[in-house]
Each structure stands twice: as structure tokens, then as C-alpha cells.
């Protein structure tokens, strides 16, 4: 059994003015053909799951391309065309291929296509005809569209946020492909989208209310004819017509069952919609609360949710750092501020040098104001590290030229590239142990919980300046459907 695979992932924040070009994909990882398997084999990633499950089932994978970039603004059309060209070429080279297996995100927006994954699936369907199975995994933050559902045989979403199950969902998708090609099952899907945006903090599946619905999905999948069930929280920071959360249910040939179950889930989440409104603290309130909670021992973790580079923010807001310094509170570590200019100055000055600079808020003017600093260069590195925690284990990441600066008794990791701080290795790689600090500030929204929760005495969610803020009414949407909860509250959804 010969199956074409590809991995194409980007979470596009349309409020960002940082274009996601081919160069950005090359930074994060643009891997082609024969290089894919040695790169991802043994990692707990989606591609790692495809590889392992295919071997278990005796499937031959034809690897085409893996293209990923750090979330930011619109993806260049040439990247989309490049990926499609690679898949098309291998389809032509292997006329005996029996299926297409994809790792997609579901919230990618290019300059031309707001429904990029839908367009990609449609292009592939046109190439292979109506009978070849196309199955894809999707991120929990995907925007599902009728086009995506119509052109694929099965769409399978991550069930966890933090996304610690990408490997398992890829294994599941590969298994569905195997049984579909053998003619043992016939996947059909139903999509239901209640008029809701789920704010990012409330998409955390480790607790209620989101966790309740994941439990319901798992129970639903125990029904004999239900193959897969997914909740897609959507991505609030995309001003597009198909924004919003959704449920997708995949059954073995029973479309009516899929529709009934998807509608039942959608109705229940609508009835509980007010439970999905987060409570967040501004930087000054958050730092004050952190000081009150600190007792020694394990650190207080402050999540800078509004400046999460994992959702397209710049990772260069210094609002929380400024509060610590102005409050005279020390023994804090921050990961990370993206400021290539200051990182370069530190490298030129050398370890032990005292430098004066203007730090942060330089990339787009949307993440607050800069901070004048004078600090000592504590350490320097090339910024490379390998993930060892519970998410994407084994994947190699790169902060670029990086420095640790000591500022008023606090240590700040200053990097040249944006990376979300969800794995302690981002700190260990710079010689910092989060357990050594009273306070740890992380540029992350939810992913940090998969590795930092056990290290933390308490966690404080902070909403400061940035384009990943959960104050959704602060954003100027022009293309989204209305009414839409929680932007609009005084309306009735009949289903």
C-alpha cells in the first residue's frame, strides 16, 4: 500500500504585519523528500506518528515535503504554490499511489486564499478524482469550512491543548487510511459551526469547560460506527469569513449519525457559552498578585498570553518586565524577548560586559513601548536546543543568536528569532533552571502548561499589549460573520 504524505502548517494571525515568506519557512523547517524521515523519525510529532504507524501496518510512505513556520502574518502565495507543486510531482511520479495523508494546521491564510487548506484539498481532489482517500490531521485551532469537509474523506483534530497528542492523532489518521484503502470502512463527515469564538485561554483542555467536551468526544468514539470526533476551537486572531469553532464527526458510512452527534455537541457548547469567557490580569495587577503569592520554593509562572509568538505575536513586549523592574521585584527569569539588535550588541560586547540599549517593542508597534536598559551580559549562545518535554519531543528549535541579560536582579533571555516558551529546554539551553527563580515569565498562552505546571507554585494569566490578546473586542474585525459570541451577546442561535 503506497501513500503520499505531506506536512504543511501555519497559524496565520491576520492582525500581524509580519509577512510569512519562504524565508520564514526555511528558518523553522522546510524539509523535502528523502530528508523527511530521518528528520522526524523518533519524534513525537505528526510526521513521527505517520512514520511509526505506517511501519506497523506495512505501508509505504512517499514523503513529499514538510513546511512549517512560526505563526505570523499572511503566508506568501509562492509558498503555497511550492508545496502544492511538490505533492503534484510525486503524484505524477507514483501513479500507483492509493491515498494522500496530510498534516495540516487549518488556520493558514495566504495573500490570496483565506481558506488555504480548503483550496489545497480541492486542488488535490481535482488531481486524484473522487475515489482516492484523502485524510488529514488538523490543529485544535483550525477554522473548519464546508470546502475542507467536502474535499477530504476524514479530518481529525488534536484533542489536547497543549497539543501533546499530535503523534497519536497522526497514528489514528494513518490507521484510518489503511482500513479505508482496504475497503473495510467508508468515512463520511458532518460539520457544525455554532456562532462562537472560543477565546484562547478557555481552549485549554486540561480543565472544564473545554475538557468536558473532549471527554464527550472520547465517549462518542466508542460507538460502533463513529470513527472520529473532533472539537476545533478555532483561532480568534484571523479576520476571515469562516472564523469560529466547530465540531466534526466522522462515521463509517452513516452521515445522519454524524450530523446528529455534531449538532448535539454544538447545541450543548452553545448552552454553556458563558463558561468560555476568560478572566485575565493586566501586567501591573499580575505582578502584584505574583508578589503576594510568592512563598519561596516553586516559582510563580506568569504567562504573557497577549505576546505569544505561538499565535503570531512578536515576542518583544516588555510590559511585564517593566512592571517587575519598576516595582523593585527581582529573582525573575523571562523567556524570551525577541530583539536581534540587543542580542547582537551582547555578542559583540561579550560575557560580563555591561550594555546600554533600548529593548523590545520594535517589530510592529503593536506590542507596547520599548524599555531603556542597562544590564550585564550573563551568557551567550547560538540559541539551538532540542525539545525534551511532553510536546513535540525530539524536535530541534533555534532562537538564533541569544544572550541572557541581568537587569535589576532579573534574568532575561534575549533572542534573535521568535519561539514560544513552552518547554523548559528554552531556559536550560541558556544555563537557566526555572526552579531557581521566584518568578518565571513565559511568552506563551497555554502550551507552557504541558511542561511548566508541575514546576509552578501557581500560574497567572496576563493580558498585556499584543495581537494575541483575549480582549477580542479590542480587535477591528471586518470580514467575520456576525453575530458571533462573545463579540455579540444579545442573540439566539437556533441551530
Is the pLDDT confidence value at 344 over 90?
yes
Query: In the sheet that 187-192 helps form, which strands lie side by side, from edge to edge?
Result: 187-192, 246-252, 226-232
Residues 440, 166: Cα–Cα separation, whole Å = 27
- The per-residue pLDDT for 242 is 97
- The per-residue pLDDT for 470 is 93
Cα-based distances in Å from 67 to 35, 37, 47, 86, 194: 12, 14, 11, 11, 31
* Cβ count near 122 (within 10 Å): 16
Segment 453-492, tens digit of pLDDT: 999 999 999 999 999 999 999 999 999 999 999 999 999 9
Torsion of CA 67, 154, 223, 55, to 10 degrees: -60
Residues 471, 477: Cα–Cα separation, whole Å = 13
Residues 39, 48: Cα–Cα separation, whole Å = 9
Residue with cell 504573557: 304
Is the pLDDT confidence value at 403 over 90?
yes
Residues 320, 302: Cα–Cα separation, whole Å = 9
Is the pLDDT confidence value at 299 over 90?
yes
Sort 302 into a burial class: Cβ within 10 Å, 0-12 / 13-18 / 19+. Answer: buried
Q: Which whole number is the average pLDDT over 230-256?
A: 98
Residues 6+ apart with CB under 8 A from 93: none
Please check whether residue 252 is in contact with residue 225, taking contact to mean a CB–CB distance below 8 angstroms. Answer: yes
Is the pLDDT confidence value at 296 over 80?
no
- The per-residue pLDDT for 297 is 86
Is the pLDDT confidence value at 192 over 90?
yes
Q: Which whole number is the average pLDDT over 32-47?
A: 95
Segment 174-183, tens digit of pLDDT: 999 999 999 9
Confidence of residue 28 (pLDDT cuts 50, 70, 90): confident
CA atoms within 13 A on the CB side of 252: 14
Looking at every residue in the chain, the average pLDDT score rounds to 97
**Greater model confidence, 427 or 494:** 427
Segment 106-143, tens digit of pLDDT: 999 999 999 999 999 999 999 999 999 999 999 999 99
Residues 453, 441: Cα–Cα separation, whole Å = 13
pLDDT over 70 percentage in the chain: 100
Q: Which whole number is the average pLDDT over 401-419?
A: 97
- The per-residue pLDDT for 495 is 80
Segment 354-374, tens digit of pLDDT: 999 999 999 998 999 999 999
- The per-residue pLDDT for 471 is 93
Is the pLDDT confidence value at 266 over 90?
yes
Whole-prediction pTM: 0.95
CA torsion sign for 436, 442, 447, 453 is: positive
- The per-residue pLDDT for 2 is 97
Please check whether residue 166 is in contact with residue 140, taking contact to mean a CB–CB distance below 8 angstroms. Answer: no
Cα-based distances in Å from 141 to 9, 105, 203: 12, 8, 9
Segment 68-102, tens digit of pLDDT: 999 999 999 999 999 999 999 999 999 999 999 99
Q: Which whole number is the average pLDDT over 276-281?
A: 92
- The per-residue pLDDT for 367 is 94
Amino acid at each position: 500500500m503506497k501513500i503520499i504524505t505531506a506536512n504543511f502548517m501555519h497559524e496565520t494571525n491576520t492582525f500581524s504585519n509580519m509577512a510569512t515568506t519562504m524565508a520564514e519557512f526555511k528558518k523553522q523547517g522546510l524539509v523535502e523528500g528523502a530528508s523527511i524521515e530521518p528528520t522526524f523519525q523518533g519524534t513525537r510529532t505528526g510526521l513521527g506518528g505517520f512514520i511509526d504507524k505506517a511501519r506497523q501496518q506495512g505501508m509505504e510512505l512517499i514523503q513529499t515535503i514538510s513546511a512549517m513556520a512560526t505563526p505570523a502574518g499572511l503566508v506568501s502565495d509562492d509558498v503555497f504554490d511550492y508545496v502544492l507543486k511538490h505533492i503534484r510531482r510525486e503524484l505524477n511520479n507514483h501513479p500507483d499511489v492509493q491515498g494522500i495523508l496530510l498534516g495540516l494546521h487549518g488556520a493558514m491564510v495566504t495573500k490570496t486564499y483565506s481558506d488555504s487548506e480548503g483550496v489545497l484539498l480541492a486542488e488535490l481532489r481535482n488531481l486524484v478524482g473522487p475515489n482516492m482517500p484523502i485524510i488529514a490531521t488538523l490543529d485544535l485551532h483550525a477554522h473548519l469550512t464546508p470546502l475542507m469537509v467536502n474535499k477530504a474523506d476524514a479530518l481529525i483534530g488534536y484533542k489536547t491543548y497543549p497539543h501533546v497528542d499530535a503523534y497519536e492523532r497522526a497514528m489514528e489518521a494513518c490507521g484510518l487510511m489503511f482500513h479505508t484503502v482496504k475497503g473495510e470502512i467508508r468515512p463520511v463527515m458532518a460539520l457544525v459551526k455554532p456562532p462562537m469564538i472560543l477565546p484562547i485561554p478557555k481552549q485549554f483542555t486540561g480543565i472544564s469547560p473545554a475538557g468536558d467536551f473532549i471527554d464527550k468526544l472520547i465517549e462518542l468514539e466508542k460507538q460502533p460506527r463513529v470513527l472520529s470526533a473532533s472539537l476545533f476551537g478555532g483561532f480568534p486572531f484571523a479576520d476571515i469569513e469562516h472564523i469560529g469553532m466547530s465540531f466534526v464527526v466522522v462515521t463509517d458510512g452513516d452521515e445522519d449519525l454524524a450530523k446528529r452527534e455534531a449538532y448535539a455537541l454544538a447545541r450543548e457548547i452553545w448552552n454553556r457559552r458563558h463558561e468560555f469567557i476568560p478572566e485575565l490580569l493586566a501586567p501591573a495587577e499580575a505582578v502584584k498578585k505574583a508578589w503576594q503569592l510568592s512563598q519561596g520554593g516553586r516559582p510563580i509562572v506568569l504567562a504573557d498570553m497577549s505576546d505569544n509568538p505561538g499565535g503570531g505575536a512578536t515576542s518583544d513586549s516588555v510590559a511585564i518586565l517593566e512592571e517587575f523592574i519598576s516595582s523593585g521585584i527581582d529573582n525573575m527569569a523571562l523567556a524570551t524577548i525577541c530583539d536581534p539588535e540587543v542580542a547582537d550588541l551582547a555578542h559583540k560586547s561579550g560575557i560580563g560586559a555591561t550594555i546600554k540599549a533600548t529593548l523590545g517593542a520594535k517589530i510592529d508597534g503593536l506590542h507596547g513601548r520599548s524599555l531603556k536598559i542597562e544590564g550585564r551580559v550573563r551568557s551567550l549562545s547560538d540559541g539551538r536546543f532540542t525539545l525534551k518535554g511532553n510536546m513535540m519531543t525530539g524536535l530541534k528549535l533555534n532562537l538564533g543568536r541569544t544572550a541572557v541579560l541581568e537587569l535589576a536582579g532579573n534574568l532575561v533571555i534575549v533572542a534573535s528569532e521568535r519561539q514560544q516558551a513552552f518547554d523548559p529546554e528554552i531556559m536550560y539551553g541558556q544555563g537557566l533552571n526555572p526552579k531557581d527563580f521566584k518568578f518565571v515569565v513565559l511568552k506563551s498562552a497555554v502550551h507552557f502548561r504541558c511542561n511548566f505546571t508541575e514546576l509552578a507554585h501557581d500560574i497567572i494569566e496576563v493580558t498585556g499589549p499584543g495581537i494575541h490578546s483575549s480582549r477580542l473586542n479590542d480587535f477591528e474585525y471586518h470580514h467575520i460573520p456576525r453575530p458571533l459570541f462573545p463579540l455579540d451577546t444579545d442573540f439566539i442561535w437556533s441551530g
